[in-house]
Amino acid sequence: DFQLTQSPSFLSASVGDRVTITCRASQAISTLVAWYQQKPGKAPKLLIYAASTLQSGVPSRFRGSGSGTEFTLTISSLQPEDFATYYCQQVKSDLFTFGPGTKVDSK
């Protein structure tokens, strides 16, 4: 079974902190990761796709990188509106998988 894991599961941080979230795939695949942000009571919002392409309208403090089986989402300077849960997502053979999520809350 293809699986995605995320670390950490929870992260406490302060405004201005640099935050890094990692997504690992159980096997290397050719397609790359997308990252989503979800706030309570809201639908997920696409932040990054193809591992590093910033979705239109997303602030440049969000950066994605990685290849193979390991991908990262970095927020260069955490802002108050960035406290949320973040999910990675990949596609393998037309089947989609989401990571379990990383909740970023205020320290």
Partner 1 sequence: QLHLQESGPGLVKPSETLSLICSVSGASIISATYYWGWIRQPPGRGLEWIGNIYYTGTTYNNPSLRSRVTISLDTSKNHFSLRLRSVTAADTAIYYCARVLRDPDGDPFDYWGQGTLVTVSS
Smallest distance from the beta carbon of 72 to partner 1, in angstroms?
Answer: 15
Spatial CB neighbours of 81, under 8 Å, sequence gap ≥ 6: none
Torsion sign (Cα): 9, 28, 63, 88: negative
Please give the torsion angle defined by the CA atoms of residues 40, 43, 47 and 49, in that order, rounded to the nearest 10 degrees. Answer: 140
Is 23 an interacting residue with respect to partner 1 (CB under 8 A)? no
Asked if residue 31 binds partner 1 (CB under 8 A), the reply is yes
Quick one: which of 13, 22, 24, 44 contacts partner 1 (CB under 8 A)? 44
Q: Is 51 in the site for partner 1 (CB under 8 A)?
A: yes
CB of 59 to partner 1, least distance (A): 17
